[in-house]
Each structure stands twice: as C-alpha cells, then as structure tokens.
Amino acid sequence: MNQSVTSRQIVLLVLLLSITGTLIQPHAQAIFYAEQHAYLSYVPVVFVMIISMWMVSRIQRRFPNQDLFEALADRFPFMGRLAGVMYILFFFFIFARDIRLIGDYVSITLLETTPISIVVLSLMIMAVFIVRGGLGSLIGMSELYVTLFLLNSIIVPFMLIQQLNMDNLMPYFHVDTAGVGKGSWYIFSFYGEMIALPFVVKGSDFRFKPVLWGIIISGLVMMLIMVETITSIGVPIASRLVYPSYELARQLQISDFLDRFDLALAAATLPTMITKIAFDLYFVCWGMKRMIPNVSGKVLTGPVALVGFVCAFWFFQNAIQLYRFTREWTWIAILFEVLFPIVLFMFLRPRKKDKKQGQESSDSEKNGEKRRPDSHGGELQPS
C-alpha cells in the first residue's frame, strides 16, 4: 500500500518538484521577455497552480484510500488507464529531459573535462538506487537536501550584499504586461511538475493546505532568486545566459582566498537535482506498476532508466536545442497540468457503492479497527 506522507513532507516534495528544474533553465528566458520585472512572471504561474492543485486535492478527497493512478484505473478501466499511460509518457519525457538538462549543468559547472555521457550515466545510476528504496528514500533525501537548499537560499542574499545594484530594477512601476506573460509561459512547464504528487500519494495524505504552503514558499524563493540574478548580473547579461543561476553563484566571494564558492553551492544543490531525477523515474515505474499490477516496479527501474538515458541524447542533440524547446513544451504541459485536472475534477467521482464502502472503512479506522493491506502493494517491491 502507499506509504504515509506527512504535511511537512508534502511541502518539501512540492518544493522539490517546482524548484529544481525551474532554477536551472527558464529564468534567462523569462528575463529576456519581462526584463527587470521578470520576478512577476511567477505571480500568474503560482495562481494557476494553486487552482489546479486545489482541484486535484478535491478529487483525492473522493478516494481517500487510493492514489490517482488507482482511482483512474478502478473508476474507468479503459479511459482511466489510457489517461494514466499518458501521464506516464509525459513524465518519462520529463525524466529524459531532466537527466540531459542536469547532465549538461553538471558538465559545465563541476566536471568540465568529463564526457557528458559519463556524467549522465552516473546520475542515472544514482537515481536507480534511490528509486529501489521506494518513496521513503525520496522523502528522506527531500527532507535533507531540500531543507539545505532553502537554507542556502536564505544565506546567499546576505553574501551578495556588495554585488547588488537596485538600479537594475528600474523603472520599478513600468511593467511590461505582455513580457511578464511570456516569462510566465516559459516558467510554467517546469514549475507545474508538482502535479505528479497525487499520483503517488494516497488521498487521505494529500491535503491542500500543505500543498498551498509549498506553492507559496517555492514561489517566494524563486522570486527572490530572480531578483538576486537581475540586481547582481543585470538584465542584458542574465537574459543571454544558459544557466543564470550558476552565474549568480559565481558572484559570491567570501574573501580573497575563497573566490570559487560557486563550487560549494553547486555541490550542495546537486543532490537535490539527483533526487528530482529519481522522483521522475519513480513516477514512471510506479505508474507502470499501477497500470499492470503483476509487473514489479522495482525490476522496471533499470530498464526504464536505460531507455531514458538513450532518449535523453536521442531527443536533444545539444543544450541549445533543449533550451529552445521550452516554448513548445509548455503547450504539452498545460494539457497535463491544467486541462486534465479540470476534466478529472468534473468526471472522476466514485460509484455510490464504493463511496459507501469507503465511508464505512474510514469509520472503522477511526474506531481503531485494523484494515487489510491493499492487494496491489505500495512500494516498488521485487516480484
């Protein structure tokens, strides 16, 4: 059965899924269009995701003992499984994109002379071992490394005091609304990947309040990083960088003898990126297990990761192609992160008999009665 997830862990998982990919790539594109007001691009994105996740949380309340994969397959045996397969393919593409994106990032910032294929293979192997530990391993790493990332985000502004130039934000009140909208378009596809959570967390654990806190915190953190990037680097330069977050870290200088503090920051945030890759892989394997109950999700981790490794270089020949694809990718992301939740909110409801049985089971849990475990199994166990 699904592992129980606390409210604090839900917040951290939301931060993991919304921050990691967004931090690496789309900030430069948002700054190019929205210029000094690029940080405002997060406002419509956060608003849309709050509505989308609220609808999903309402759906989960209808199925307290199931995750969204189970609810879809049980309620609509054919169309539900088809929707589940579409989400699996969606996040498989994200998995392939992330290992290529993070592989390029690591190759540029930490391992400049190492072939990118070796870097990506190393990241993939680490992700496989994390996924084999189940959702508990992902939650444990999120609790450690996402918290470390938040601490870094709070400390960095104090270290950048001397490099900040507030004139880069001028004019303060002349907002290019169209430019801000275009910036939101590039950010949305990465930020909205938190839609994966209800598919791996059962309905009774997926509560809207911690999700809301996670969305608000992640939005504020990313706006802070965007403001730091603009004020320390400037719009003309930041808008033409592939990885503006790395250039921001290079602005840090603790003293005369420690001028490469960016390496320490990159090494501290790298485990968070690896955890994000592992979550993508876990989602795909978990979904395949739910769609085909007799298949072992744990056995699938290796083959799925290997196929993702091949697709990462097949889909994207270089980092520039990956960088430019964000504009078109948002069209696909909207389908899964906004439109599908609306459709599921309208039509995915339990049968009256199932609803009555679920109510009786919840009443028995409150009275301390023991329930039998889910026959499908929860963690990725070997066959």
Query: Is the CB of residue 115 less than 8 Å from the CB of residue 307?
Result: no
Q: Render pLDDT for 140-172 as a digit per residue (tens, 0 to 9).
A: 888 988 988 888 888 888 777 777 888 888 888
CA 61/CA 348 separation, integer angstroms: 11
From the CB of residue 62, how many other CB atoms can be counted at a distance below 10 Å? Answer: 17
Long-range contacts of 315-319 (CB under 8 A, 24+ apart): 315/93, 315/96, 315/97, 315/100, 316/97, 316/100, 319/101, 319/104, 319/242
Q: Which of 49-63, 293-307, 349-363 has the highest mean pLDDT?
A: 49-63
Checking if the pLDDT of 356 tops 90, the result is: no
Q: Which of 130-134, 140-144, 279-283 has the highest mean pLDDT?
A: 279-283
382 is written with which tokens? 């070997």
CA 123/CA 57 separation, integer angstroms: 32
Q: What is the mean pLDDT of residues 61-65?
A: 89
**Nearest to 120, CA basis, from 266, 325, 274:** 274
The pLDDT score that the predictor gives to residue 357 is: 56
CA 314/CA 343 separation, integer angstroms: 33
Per the prediction, the chain carries an average pLDDT of 84
Share of the chain above pLDDT 90, in %: 38
Choose between 359 and 329: higher pLDDT. Answer: 329
CA 156/CA 251 separation, integer angstroms: 10
The pLDDT score that the predictor gives to residue 175 is: 85
Local structure of residue 163 (DSSP, 8 states) = G
Q: Render pLDDT for 205-261 as a digit per residue (tens, 0 to 9).
A: 899 999 999 999 999 999 999 998 898 888 888 888 888 887 887 777 665 555 566
Q: Render pLDDT for 23-54 as a digit per residue (tens, 0 to 9).
A: 888 888 999 998 889 999 999 999 999 999 99
Choose between 290 and 262: higher pLDDT. Answer: 290
Choose between 2 and 215: higher pLDDT. Answer: 215
Question: Could you tell me the pLDDT band of residue 104, with boundaries at 50, 70 and 90?
Answer: confident
Share of the chain above pLDDT 70, in %: 87
Choose between 155 and 281: higher pLDDT. Answer: 281
**Nearest to 66, CA basis, from 197, 195, 201:** 201
